[in-house]
Amino acid sequence: MRRIPVAARWCALAAVLNALVWSFVTPPFEVPDETVHVTYVQSLAEDGQIPNDPGAGVFSREQAELMVALQFNTVVGRPRDRAIVSDLQEGSVDALTQNPPDKSHPGGTTETSSQPPLYYGLEALVYQVSPWRNLLDRLWLMRAFSALLAGVTVLFVFMFLRELLPEPWMWTVGALAVAFQPVFGFIAGGVSADNLLFAASAALFFALARTFNRGLTLHHGLAIGAALAVGALAKLNFLALVPGALLGVALLLWRDRRREGRQAWRGAAAALGIPALFGALYVALNLVAWDRSAWGGGVETASRAAAGEDSGAHAITVAEQLSYTWQLYLPRLPFMNDQFAYFPPWQSWFKGGIGLFGWLDTPFDGWVYTLAALLAVPIVVLALVALVRHRAALRARLLELVTYAAIVGGLLLSVGLLGLRYRLDTGSAFEQFRYLLPFAALYGAAIALAAVGAGRRLSRPVGAALVVLALAHGLFAQLLVIGRFYG
């Protein structure tokens, strides 16, 4: 703990407090997929099983009746309907919390069934140690655990920036920009495996940056391996980061094999061995304890989707896949078929990042996004100016940058690969801004760089202004959600 700077602890504390605010602001189950995340936790906690029976019901009686009492199904997706507004309605919720119905889980398959169980296992412990015995109160305690993970994420973002940037104020500015990013805070205030994914991703960036700075040793290899293991067991999306991370380990080994000697080989072995060990344990648990396929179904399904092997489904050509993935992030080229009725870089990524809350049913008014775009332009320009000014430092970190680019490319590609299959199967858009939050560390770096780009005399005041902007952004997002559900 002594190695963690005081400022990092303050930034983490701010992130935890802000996420706790979100945990109260958002009504129960109104964070995307929170219903099925909770059902996974309750199934593990009550029955020791991952819900994975295609023919069975999805929710325990307790959760199903609570959702009805909370009017969940009639509020979600309908921004003109509020959460419950009267004591009369709360009476039926109180009746459930005082005499909770059957908690045992029918074990039905949900969207989260194929996910690995680490986050859910930790939340199941929180569920078990809760002093309360009803799901509504336990739900908040589980949310509080997610808020703690937000603190962990911000702590790792701070430590990553410390490896990357020269001055302490820059680390603070970048970490706080992440802490108050409203979509990050909103997800951190809910029960969602994304929260452990974000923490593991930030830890991976930190471990890689530290290793690139100080050399591949056993300790640093252990840190990379631990981040990889936790991330891979937190959420399948993390697997898209793994190839880039492995490339990083290979580059580090190539660079350090002479200087560090055996240490480098040990470090690489640890970086690969820890995730392999925990992966094997996970496979064994799937096969022996949970009676499901080796990788829980998730990796298998994703692989089939990526390879276009789903039986009976529309086959996806390579050209379609490339066109879709390109247009997901960049303007369409003249020879491409239009893949979207909207412009994803604006609609999904920019507007989604500025704020889209609830189950994607609570946006800001349109003018807010325009204002945000006007503010974002100088921030991006300043960050680019900083990169150009410090290009010599960038050249010195080329291998590290190649690693980050491979990690980013892996995730972006995976969203493209899975997104088209999902859209063809369901007719719904797949992409959401939160899928990019594993890059929280890079987001923090970009904001800190924008301050640096303002020049030596103005950089610190601009950094302070960016933090105030982040605070204001978070505040008005919280007010938006309060207005939607309670106004």
Partner 1 sequence: MTPVRAVLAGGLLVVVVALAVVLLDGSPRQAGSNYVGEFEEAQKLRGGRELCQEGQVIPRDAAALRLLIGTYGRPAPAIDVEVTDADGPVTSGRRPAGGPEGHVVIPLDRVDRTVGGATVCVRLGGRGRNVLYGQAGNVRLEYLRRGSESWIALAPTVAHRFGLAKANPFGSWLLVVVALLLAAAWFAALRTVARESER
How many whole angstroms separate alpha carbon 172 and alpha carbon 177? 8
Identify the CA nearest to 232 among candidates 191, 190, 280, 189.
280
Restricted to residues 304-363, the positions that interact with partner 1 (CB under 8 A) are none
- Determine the angle formed by the axes of helices 398-426 and 318-329, rounding to 10 degrees: 110
Contact 124, 51 (CB under 8 A): no
What DSSP letter does each residue of 256-311 carry, written as one string? HTTTTTHHHHHHHHHHHHHHHHHHHHHHHHHHHTS-S-TTTTHHHHHHHHHHT--T
Restricted to residues 150-169, the positions that interact with partner 1 (CB under 8 A) are 168-169
Which are the contacts of 317, defined by CB distance < 8 A and separation ≥ 6?
A: none
Residue 265 Cβ vs partner 1, minimum distance, rounded to whole Å: 39
479 binds partner 1 (CB under 8 A): yes
Determine which residue in the list 24, 254, 342, 346 makes contact with partner 1, applying CB under 8 A: 24
Determine which residue in the list 10, 340, 422, 430 makes contact with partner 1, applying CB under 8 A: 10
Residue 71 Cβ vs partner 1, minimum distance, rounded to whole Å: 5
68 binds partner 1 (CB under 8 A): no
Restricted to residues 393-432, the positions that interact with partner 1 (CB under 8 A) are none
Determine which residue in the list 86, 98, 311, 426 makes contact with partner 1, applying CB under 8 A: 86
Residue 52 Cβ vs partner 1, minimum distance, rounded to whole Å: 29
475 binds partner 1 (CB under 8 A): yes
The binding track of 225-264 with respect to partner 1, each residue x by CB under 8 A or -, is ----------------------------------------
Sole residue written with tokens 């980013």: 408
460 binds partner 1 (CB under 8 A): yes
R_g over Cα of the chain: 23
- Determine the angle formed by the axes of helices 440-453 and 135-164, rounding to 10 degrees: 50
Secondary structure class of 390 (helix, strand, coil):
coil
71 binds partner 1 (CB under 8 A): yes
90 binds partner 1 (CB under 8 A): yes
Secondary structure class of 357 (helix, strand, coil):
strand
Contact 50, 289 (CB under 8 A): no
How many whole angstroms separate alpha carbon 214 and alpha carbon 72? 51
101 binds partner 1 (CB under 8 A): no
Residue 72 Cβ vs partner 1, minimum distance, rounded to whole Å: 10
84 binds partner 1 (CB under 8 A): yes
How many whole angstroms separate alpha carbon 421 and alpha carbon 428? 10
11 binds partner 1 (CB under 8 A): yes
Restricted to residues 168-187, the positions that interact with partner 1 (CB under 8 A) are 168-169, 171-173, 176, 179-180
Determine which residue in the list 93, 118, 155, 264 makes contact with partner 1, applying CB under 8 A: 93
Residue 478 Cβ vs partner 1, minimum distance, rounded to whole Å: 7
Which are the contacts of 306, defined by CB distance < 8 A and separation ≥ 6?
A: 414, 417, 418, 421
* Window contacting partner 1 (CB under 8 A); options: 42-50, 378-386, 389-397, 468-476: 468-476
Phi, psi dihedral angles at 451 (to 5 degrees): -65, -45
Which are the contacts of 428, defined by CB distance < 8 A and separation ≥ 6?
A: 422
- ∠ Cα 66 72 76 (to 5°): 160
Determine which residue in the list 4, 48, 56, 74 makes contact with partner 1, applying CB under 8 A: 74
Residue 74 Cβ vs partner 1, minimum distance, rounded to whole Å: 4
82 binds partner 1 (CB under 8 A): yes
User: Of all residues in the chain, what percent are helix, strand and coil, respectively (each to 5)?
Assistant: 70, 0, 30
Q: Which is nearer to partner 1, 179 or 245 (CB)?
A: 179
471 binds partner 1 (CB under 8 A): yes
How many whole angstroms separate alpha carbon 259 and alpha carbon 49? 48
57 binds partner 1 (CB under 8 A): no
Determine which residue in the list 25, 161, 183, 328 makes contact with partner 1, applying CB under 8 A: 25
Can you give the binding site for partner 1, defined by CB under 8 A?
7, 10-11, 13-15, 17-18, 20-21, 24-25, 27-28, 69-71, 74-75, 78, 80-90, 93, 132, 136-137, 139-141, 168-169, 171-173, 176, 179-180, 460-465, 467-469, 471-472, 475-476, 478-479, 482-483, 485-487
